[in-house]
Chain A
Amino acid sequence: MASAQGQFLAFDEFGRPFIVIREQEKRARVKGLEAQRANINAARAVSNLLRTSLGPKGMDKILVSQDGDVTITNDGATIMEKMDVKHQVAKLLVELSQSQDNEIGDGTTGVVILAGALLESALNLLDKGLHPLRVCDGFERACAIAVKHLEATSQELDVFANNNELLKKAAVTCLCSKVVSNRQNELAAIAVEAVLDVADIKRKDVNFEHIKVEGKPGGSLEDTCLIRGIVIDKDMSHPQMAKVVKDAKIAILTCPFEPPKPKTKHKLEISNAEDYRKLYEQEQQYFVKMIEDVKNSGSNIVICQWGFDDEANYLLHANKLPAVRWVGGVEIELIAMATGARIVPRFSELSSEKLGRAACVREIGFGTTDDKMIVIEGCANTSAVTVLVRGGNKMIVDEAKRCLHDALCVVRNLIRDSRIVYGGGCAELMASLEITKVVDMEPSIEQYAMRGFADALEDISNALAENSGLNPIETTTWLKNEMKNDPSKRYGVDCNGVGINDMKELNVYESLQSKVQQLQLATQVVRMILKIDDVFAPSEYS
């Protein structure tokens, strides 16, 4: 570390060293251009990893977790999350894809690739001697131009026209890059139906809490279905209880069907036979009273967060009250919301107006195994829906769940904001062309950075073409040329090899919101990374 020491040490006029950083030899430090280069390299490595997952011909990744569990996915956010990234700058990119996932739900791969491309072109500019902040400023200006242009050229769609055809197509575009693509039409229809069921069309809002995606390995993807209600992975507490309750009045309890356990510390001492008998009778009374309370409230099904005593369980059955026990807190709340029930913490507080209502509660079974689930359909208050995903194995089910989530997000975004841009790299290329057009008018040296931004945008269509087995440079050049000659054209990379480049005709589109978000997020992260000029890290040898 001789050279490193030279960097950090200063000497006073008597030749004694000042200590600038304590235990400096125990830290690794890089600064200046060196730091930026190292950071950019790390970020590029991450984005290169995702590059092959982009587009309908993108490949999957196997991720083996710390405990040896296997995940197969091509969802950018999931890959990044499960990769267990250690490098600090790479972690920024992980967060980048996560924030895209939280905001928009789709385009998580694209945003990382875009950030990688921007960083690469930034590196060239830095090598030319541009100051990092000038580069950032240029990028931001270019980004603003791109966003404005996309907004101007976006198209407003009537998403509900023609039996929601357009929504379905958008969902298909999202699903076609996933492993479930051979069932894309069915799943897209399910996603659209689910979102429309819970959507508040007037306020253009969709509450995702009302859509639950449940997975159960077994069957095949075709068996995936939409259930207009709530599904809980539980069964009836007594094997002989009724399996179907029509016109259900649901009592939701958070107290166990057991003798009460006072929370104060106490001791109950029995000193003679009389007391013993009384106590026994008292205990018997408890159960009878509990059931009576439930019965009197007019309820015909009980959902309880806790367990049942054997005797109470039987009494419930004898009184024709089917019951479900050990239902989790989150599910209880969901059921309460959906059925309009109040969660009741004590038996004495049960009353008929606190009951939830649903058209039907039933228990369903699967395959040759013993698995059962409870389905609550036709809830009174809100139209909560559940998508029950089936698939050949657990990995397929998990991946299908992620895909459906993406598709649901896409549909929601279109309902919120029905402006769209075209996919297949088309939107990026259009933005790139627009930037190139105005960039020469720019008097300052940000001109270079803006040009760099335009170049980076082309990387998306390059990656798409590469993954589809086309010649990337040739394809991108041709597309750019076509669109430059006729600005009304919406050409993109023909990933499926159907011989058509017109994205309008192929119905490949994404919501404007998603694209704008991608551009803005990527630019922000790039700015953040470029602004770092000094990194201290604890050395490995400490």
Chain B
Amino acid sequence: MSGAYQGKLDAAGNVNPQILSEEAEDSRGEMARMSSFVGAIAVADLVKTTLGPKGMDKILKSADPNEQKITVTNDGATILKSLYVDNPAAKILIDISKTQDDEVGDGTTTVAVFAGELLREAEQLILQKIHPQIIIQGWRLAVAEARKTLLSLAWDNNADDEAFRKDLENVVGTTLSSKLLVQEKEHFIALAVDSVLRLKGSDDLKLIQVIKKAGGNLKDSFLADGFVLEKKISNGSVRLMQNPNIMVANTSMDYDKIKIFGSKVKVDSIEKVAEIEAAEREKMRRKVDKILSYGPNVFINRQLIYDYPESLMVEKGVMVIEHADFDGVERLSAVLGAEILSTFDNPDSSKLGSCGTIEEIIIGEDKAISFKNCQEGRASTIVLRGASSHLLDEAERSLHDALCVLIQTIKNKRVIFGGGHSEMAMSNATDALAKTIPGKKSLAIEAFGRALRKLPTIIADNGGFDSSELVSELRAAVNNGSKTAGIDMNKGVLGDMRELGIKECLRVKEQALLSASEAAEMILRVDEIVTCAPRKREGY
């Protein structure tokens, strides 16, 4: 007897039928748990060294030999996103960090590292024969307690504008201190806070545009008033205009083909060709006339503008800008208060937008168009300068994180002290809770506290400081009632976070705590991994 029916014989000689397809894998119990722990912890360890102000960067190189693009970054989400992993648990960690990025924009490394540390603790507990479900029960209690503590630590300075701005500056400073932009920290703090405050409470990041121009150095980056469009003004137009009426359009200004299906021009003599051509020109001229009847001084189109209509408009003294892409048009219309027009039959100047000044500027060596004093004053543009494109990419990522954190802070208003203070306070709270809970659950709660303490430990380690000394000092300080103690990562000693101005956004921390424990719990609950046979790909 042979074939699919036989299956394998196990140690006792019983037939162990093969149920899954040949290449499928199935690992159970300890093996499954082991593989998910190993995978998740490996991923967490990978990004661990990037955590904190003294974290190191990673170079990411594409696996495709044809694509030699490399990325230098210490942004957790970016690193994890580019990893190609096969381990299901590792995938969960990557996913969680991606979601953190989407939701709050920062804390992506923290999430992965914290989830990894939780699993490391869980591994120990499982070796002590504690059931995963009991660990989860303990963790849930611990999360609730930690969250309560975290919320109690936070304060809200919203009523006092000046203090709030100070908070914002400190928060963004803390975020930036672990990024590339740290060398020009003060400069970028002002940049980020100004641009976000200009949003006046809106959380629409689209209104802040970041333009990267290689050349110069980071210090030369600046916040442009209004909006900068990376396009050129067409030849012959004026280069500067005050209080113009701007029309933003999305219409074809090339040859404006007839869209009726199947139409086709067929003529039998040269004269007729000339006639048709004339008709075409006539049509375009009428279109231009219609557009001009709105009375715009500036005409911006999403699509191409051919020479003929362009010259017609320039003749009338209209500044013409062609080929602004989709995003550009949408932003422009928002900023200028203009409608995006596609037909031009009802002249009504109220549909046009306006701004104080429009002029061509030069950034580095490229020309761009700047719209100043816009109607909708909330928009702003940050022009990043830097030595190389890698540097600029990383600067943009850092700035994005900073802006996200700021927006979250403005939305949520509440801030907490950084430097490991909140982690330590949460860890102390869970430790205290553990003492009041009977049963094995308390071991899990203690483990949760240990995992929380790991975060400042790793940050201190990354800075090359004596983490055991520092963290225990911090623990004692927090336990003795200090509300401001934290680790000063510049000196490697305990410091007063209020004086150092190290603050963090509550929302980011809270989200990190919740998603990390959710992910760890999810991985812990697994006792079996079934991997289907990979789909056969053709052409390989």
Bound together, the chains give a CA A368 to CA B89 distance in angstroms of: 26
Subset of 15 A-B contacts with CB under 8 Å: A27-B3, A30-B5, A60-B527, A70-B92, A85-B20, A219-B103, A220-B514, A270-B264, A271-B268, A277-B283, A310-B251, A313-B342, A314-B340, A392-B99, A469-B133
- From 234 to 285 in chain A, residues with beta carbon under 8 angstroms from any chain B beta carbon are 238-240, 258-262, 266-273, 276-277, 279-280, 282-284
Q: Which residue of A lies closest to B204 (CB)?
A: A365
**Which one of A42-50, A196-204, A345-353, A513-521 is at the interface?**
A42-50
Digit string of A348-391 for contact with B (CB within 8 Å is 1, else 0)? 00000000000000000001111000000000000000000000
| A270 and B250 form a contact (CB under 8 A) | no
Known contacts A28-B1, A392-B96: A220-B526 contact under CB 8 Å:
no
Using Cβ atoms and an 8 Å threshold, which residues of chain A touch B280? 276
Is there a chain A Cβ closer than 8 Å to B346's Cβ? yes
| A46 and B19 form a contact (CB under 8 A) | yes
Bound together, the chains give a CA A234 to CA B1 distance in angstroms of: 58
CB distance from A35 to the nearest CB of B (A): 9
- From 1 to 40 in chain B, residues with beta carbon under 8 angstroms from any chain A beta carbon are 1-7, 14-22, 24, 26, 28, 32, 36
| A368 and B205 form a contact (CB under 8 A) | yes
Bound together, the chains give a CA A282 to CA B131 distance in angstroms of: 76
Is there a chain A Cβ closer than 8 Å to B86's Cβ? yes
| B522 and A60 form a contact (CB under 8 A) | yes
- From 460 to 511 in chain B, residues with beta carbon under 8 angstroms from any chain A beta carbon are 511
Bound together, the chains give a CA A261 to CA B205 distance in angstroms of: 41
The number of A-B residue pairs with CB atoms under 8 Å apart is: 268
CB distance from B304 to the nearest CB of A (A): 14
- From 22 to 73 in chain A, residues with beta carbon under 8 angstroms from any chain B beta carbon are 27-30, 37-38, 41-42, 45-46, 49, 52, 57, 59-68, 70, 72
- From 73 to 110 in chain B, residues with beta carbon under 8 angstroms from any chain A beta carbon are 86, 88-89, 91-92, 95-96, 98-99, 102-105
Chain A count of residues within 8 A CB distance of the other chain: 92
CB distance from B69 to the nearest CB of A (A): 23
Is there a chain B Cβ closer than 8 Å to A504's Cβ? no
Is there a chain B Cβ closer than 8 Å to A213's Cβ? no
| A269 and B533 form a contact (CB under 8 A) | no
Q: Which residue of B lies closest to A221 (CB)?
A: B518
| A61 and B4 form a contact (CB under 8 A) | no
| B4 and A540 form a contact (CB under 8 A) | yes
**Residue among B1, B22, B266, B521 with most chain A CB within 10 A:** B1
| B19 and A85 form a contact (CB under 8 A) | yes
Using Cβ atoms and an 8 Å threshold, which residues of chain B touch A70? 88, 91-92
CB distance from A136 to the nearest CB of B (A): 22
Is there a chain A Cβ closer than 8 Å to B407's Cβ? yes
Bound together, the chains give a CA A79 to CA B526 distance in angstroms of: 12
| A540 and B259 form a contact (CB under 8 A) | no
Q: Which residue of B lies closest to A279 (CB)?
A: B258
Bound together, the chains give a CA A267 to CA B266 distance in angstroms of: 11
Bound together, the chains give a CA A182 to CA B514 distance in angstroms of: 12
Is there a chain A Cβ closer than 8 Å to B432's Cβ? no
CB distance from A90 to the nearest CB of B (A): 4
Is there a chain A Cβ closer than 8 Å to B261's Cβ? yes
Q: Which residue of A lies closest to B536 (CB)?
A: A66
**Could you tell me which B residues sit within 8 Å of A by CB distance?**
1-7, 14-22, 24, 26, 28, 32, 36, 86, 88-89, 91-92, 95-96, 98-99, 102-105, 131-134, 140, 203, 205-206, 250-252, 258-268, 272, 275-276, 278-280, 282-283, 330, 333-334, 339-343, 346, 404, 407, 511, 514-515, 518-519, 521-522, 525-535
Q: Which residue of B lies closest to A394 (CB)?
A: B95
Known contacts A310-B250, A395-B95, A540-B3: A59-B19 contact under CB 8 Å:
no
Using Cβ atoms and an 8 Å threshold, which residues of chain B touch A329? none
Using Cβ atoms and an 8 Å threshold, which residues of chain B touch A279? 258, 260, 263
CB distance from B151 to the nearest CB of A (A): 14
Using Cβ atoms and an 8 Å threshold, which residues of chain B touch A368? 102-105, 203, 205, 404, 407
Using Cβ atoms and an 8 Å threshold, which residues of chain A touch B346? 318
Is there a chain B Cβ closer than 8 Å to A217's Cβ? yes
Bound together, the chains give a CA A394 to CA B3 distance in angstroms of: 40
| B16 and A537 form a contact (CB under 8 A) | no
| A268 and B268 form a contact (CB under 8 A) | no
Digit string of A301-314 for contact with B (CB within 8 Å is 1, else 0)? 00000000111011
Using Cβ atoms and an 8 Å threshold, which residues of chain B touch A276? 258, 265, 276, 279-280, 283
Bound together, the chains give a CA A286 to CA B260 distance in angstroms of: 10
| A541 and B264 form a contact (CB under 8 A) | no
Bound together, the chains give a CA A368 to CA B507 distance in angstroms of: 13
CB distance from A165 to the nearest CB of B (A): 24
Using Cβ atoms and an 8 Å threshold, which residues of chain A touch B283? 276-277, 280
Is there a chain B Cβ closer than 8 Å to A453's Cβ? no
Using Cβ atoms and an 8 Å threshold, which residues of chain A touch B104? 367-368
| A392 and B515 form a contact (CB under 8 A) | yes
Bound together, the chains give a CA A286 to CA B261 distance in angstroms of: 13
| B526 and A72 form a contact (CB under 8 A) | yes
